[in-house]
Amino acid sequence: MLSGNTAVVTGASRGIGRAIALELASRGALVIINYNGSASRAEEVKAEIETNGGRAELFRCDVSDSGQCEAFIADVIEKHKKIDILVNNAGITRDGLLMKMTEEDFDRVLDVNLKGTFHTIRFVSRQMLRQKSGRIINMSSVVGIMGNAGQANYAASKAGVIGLTKAAARELASRGITVNAIAPGFIETEMTAVLSDRVKEATAAQIPMGTFGKPEDIAKTVAFLASEDARYITGQVIQVDGGMGI
């Protein structure tokens, strides 16, 4: 159980982030729901958590903006005195073939997916170092391991998250802080819902388990890494992909 823990989940208003927020709250954590954009969906996640007897708060922040991120983390620490769990889930795509990809699309994906992860780790780790404890869980992707045509920017950002995870794990381990990454495969979210049936069938055929995963599969892995059961695991990349990356 995670009772007494304060957990920050970025990009928590939908998809995998929503599932993570619900899972951590169900295990007793106070969940800080980070979002960027319309508040309505984040408010729905908060309401669902509270309906189920959990606790949650909303914080709007664009994690790619260093100033916003620093203020966001400072506000959480001022109010709750600590952050025990950080889940870097916020991410975007701007897909396109490499030869046609704009510099703007390349930069924006790296700014959110990779630099946003750097920002939150940078500011949260200061508090965790004082606490001499903490769990940091970063969302990579099977694409960051295998690559994928039409996603050079996304693959680069998620591969970068793996390198950042390993470097941070080495820096923070001596203070009782673990840093790990999860590399989801194809998961049933809004992002994959827009794919045609033909593409879905072709993709599923490449997965040894023959089907897409669910957001809850990722959320339960996050909950494990956030728990005391994972106290001796750091610097690792756990692929939750149905065997796709074998």
Q: Would residue 35 show up in a list of annotated catalytic residues for this protein?
A: no
CB 116 within 8 A of CB 63: yes
Distance separating alpha carbons of residues 98 and 151, to the nearest angstrom: 8
Distance separating alpha carbons of residues 237 and 138, to the nearest angstrom: 9
CB 176 within 8 A of CB 219: no
Catalytic residue among 154, 181, 183, 245: 154
Q: What are phi and psi of 44, to 5 degrees?
A: -65, -40
- The Cβ of residue 53 has, within 10 Å, a number of other Cβ atoms equal to 9
| Helix intervals (H) in the chain | 15-26, 40-51, 66-80, 103-110, 116-131, 143-146, 152-172, 190-193, 197-204, 215-226
Quote the distance between the C-alpha of residue 214 and its chain's center: 15
DSSP 241: S
Catalytic residues: 154
